[in-house]
Structure 1
């Protein structure tokens, strides 16, 4: 008698569909008894390749490496990160993320969900997101913080690659601490977003970003006043056409109505944007 064996099934991976790619990266950081942070869950799929970096006794360190071009139109991507109570996790990326047009004309969706437990710290420091011409990306970042959690979050967006117009980019950042909203903001740039390139918004700049720091000690010692970043201005780059009168990078560091501070900056390019956000980090002791 011959037994018919069921066909072998391939391991679960990112699910392709006619409309685009479906993929989720999941990371869980857990405090160990020896004071270090372990990573019991480090699961990437599709464009997300997760690499554990040497920690040298500090926070657990993970780098997100792009395994394929994404997001494309129609893709639905997500990153889910949980830093459990008492843990410390530092997340970076190996390169910029480039939003590209897809074949279907549908927008791409990229959702980041961060959860930080009591006494835990999460540094979310990806490389810039570049909105290429013809792309359409809807991005959301949602953060849930415990009352004693610490967060350092950086976002950088570059509107168009060199010499090209920007794609459409809609982005929302929502941060809740101990169940109460600390920050909720939404931005829109590119085709379909009225006024985004006017002097009241970007004023000709093509790079925009922010640095958010939340810490329990800010309850009593938050930055007390609004401070300008790059107040002296960067030296104008050589070779700028005489008719190009755009101001140099500029930004502001301001306290929030809660234990946190937010730096917001605009710049002609990503390099000068990063310099301003680094200046803000130094001003906040980090």
Structure 2
């Protein structure tokens, strides 16, 4: 596998009366965008990301608009020539809403992948941002993976969150992931969310200083990870 991609994809949505209209869909390289009635889907047009790939996705949600972003399949981070990177920039206008929940990323043996998200929210904007990571394929030692997302509201920082999983001798300790093979996070931003912290059974719920809650979860596999994320989210929005 010697091909490398430099891709710049983007989508935008605007409010149109009582509905939301997707006004821009720009696919590029391995990032193909497809619109349905419920969401815009990320469709993998090629294997990967492979080491050396430099991928960017720009998301713009206009004032009062609502956009769901999903993917059709898991992403498999594979080794190649150097580090691969997926950088997402999202802007949500006043009173808008973005729901970003793709399928998991699998960190295959030998990969070196970095995922970055920079999210800027306007006044009264709300957010649901969900990420899931599987550490290696079946009985496989995972490669190197790091993820970071930075969130601001009207230019004021709400959250800076980073997870670096580069050395199994470190992240497999009880202070980090222990025996877990899957890790996920869910950020909810909006008013009326519970303010009580919680930690038990691989689940941590952390109310933020601003109008948000960060849920982090570890599990033995993808199925249990999803069940724990779903249960923790249901408790927050009930």
User: What is the aligned counterpart of 1:41 among 24, 28, 34?
Assistant: 24
Structure 1 residue 70 displacement after superposition: 1.9
2:211 maps to which residue?
A: 259
Q: Which residue of 1 aligns with 2:14?
A: 30
Between the aligned partners of 1:177 and 1:194, the Cα distance in structure 2 is: 37
Q: Of 189, 201, 224, which aligns to 2:176?
A: 201
Residue 49 of structure 2 corresponds to residue 71 of structure 1: yes
Q: Separation in 2 of the partners of 1:148 and 1:20?
A: 40
For the 8 Å contact 2:65–2:95, the answer to whether it is kept is yes
How does 1:139-154 map onto structure 2 within 5 Å? 139-154=115-130
- Tell me if structure 1 keeps the 8 A contact 2:203–2:232: no
1:35-78: CA deviations, max 9, x gaps? 111111011111112111124xxxxx211111110210110001
1:85 counterpart = 2:37:
no
- Tell me how large the CA RMSD over aligned residues is: 1.5
Question: Which SS does the other structure have where 2:227 is aligned?
Answer: helix
After TM superposition, the score normalised by the length of structure 2 is: 0.95
Shift of 1:194: 6.1
Distance 1:271 1:175 in 2: 28
C-alpha separation in 2, matches of 1:225 and 1:54: 36
Give the C-alpha shift of residue 28 in structure 1.
0.2
The aligned counterpart of 2:5 is: 21
Q: Is the 8 A contact 1:113 1:141 kept in 2?
A: yes
Q: Distance in 1 between matches of 2:224 and 2:166?
A: 21
The secondary structure found in structure 1 opposite 2:89 is strand
Q: Confirm or deny: 8 A CA contact 1:211 1:280 kept in the other structure.
A: no
Please state if 1:125 is matched with 2:111. no
Partner SS state of residue 266, structure 1: strand
Matches within 5 A, 1:117-196: 117-191=93-167, 195-196=170-171
Between structures 1 and 2, the one with greater strand share: 2
Superposition deviation, residue 166 in structure 1: 0.3
Task: Decide whether the 8 Å contact of 2:203 with 2:228 is kept in 1.
Answer: yes
Counterpart among 224, 231, 234 of residue 272 in structure 1? 224
Please identify the structure whose Cα radius of gyration is greater.
1
The aligned residue for residue 86 of structure 2 is 110
| Structure 1 moving runs of 4+ over 6 Å | none
What is the alpha-carbon distance in structure 2 between the residues aligned to residue 282 and residue 109 of structure 1? 32
Classify the secondary structure of the residue corresponding to 1:20: coil
Structure 2: runs of 5+ lacking an equivalent: none
TM-score, scaled to structure 1: 0.79
Tell me the CA shift for residue 222 of structure 1: 3.4
Distance in 2 (alpha carbons) for counterparts of 1:89 and 1:126 = 13
